[in-house]
Amino acid sequence: MKRVTGLGGVFFKTKDPKKIKDWYGKHLGLPVNDYGCAFEWIDPDHKDAKVPASTAWSPFKEESDYFQPSKKEFMFNYRVENLVELLKLLKEEGVEIVGEMQDYPYGKFAWIMDPEGNKIELWEPKDDGF
């Protein structure tokens, strides 16, 4: 079974998310919106997807508690193929799972902790390639 299939996103805390997004848009040409931006790409394992795959880049407010229980200023999101089965395996392997899996129109999400206290978001995108 495949586990991680790609990088789903990079999330980080900043004092002023709007200012950071504007700076990256102006100076590095990132196509920013209210959430950050998405880099689209073709997933070689799903070439027939209706839309390209994407990797998110998203600044969060410094006060955000979304990364908790991690004390870090960043969080990585990894794309996975079968989140339900992966969570079963991770639990058997003794990996700390944070909270309950969430299901949204654009995919399923779950969170784990690595040995150094980094919260990791796992994302199984919907079949449309989002």
All structural domains of the chain with their residue ranges = 4-125
- Class of the domain covering 4-125: alpha beta
Q: How confident is the model at residue 130 (pLDDT cuts 50, 70, 90)?
A: very low
Neighbours of 3 (CB within 10 A): 13
How far is residue 40's CA from residue 127's CA, in Å, rounded to a whole number? 15
Q: How far is CA 27 from CA 21, 22, 74, in A?
A: 10, 8, 22
Peptide bond into 115 cis (omega under 30): no
| Residue from 11, 2, 8, 1 nearest 109 by CA | 8
Pairing of strands 119-125, 4-14: unpaired
**E strand or H helix that includes residue 74:** strand 74-80
pLDDT of residue 51 exceeding 80: no
Tell whether the model's pLDDT for residue 52 goes beyond 50: yes
Report d(CA 13, CA 35) in Å as an integer: 13
Give the pLDDT confidence score for residue 128 in this predicted structure.
Answer: 54
- Quick check: 74 and 12 in contact, CB under 8 A? yes
- Amino acid 127: pLDDT: 66
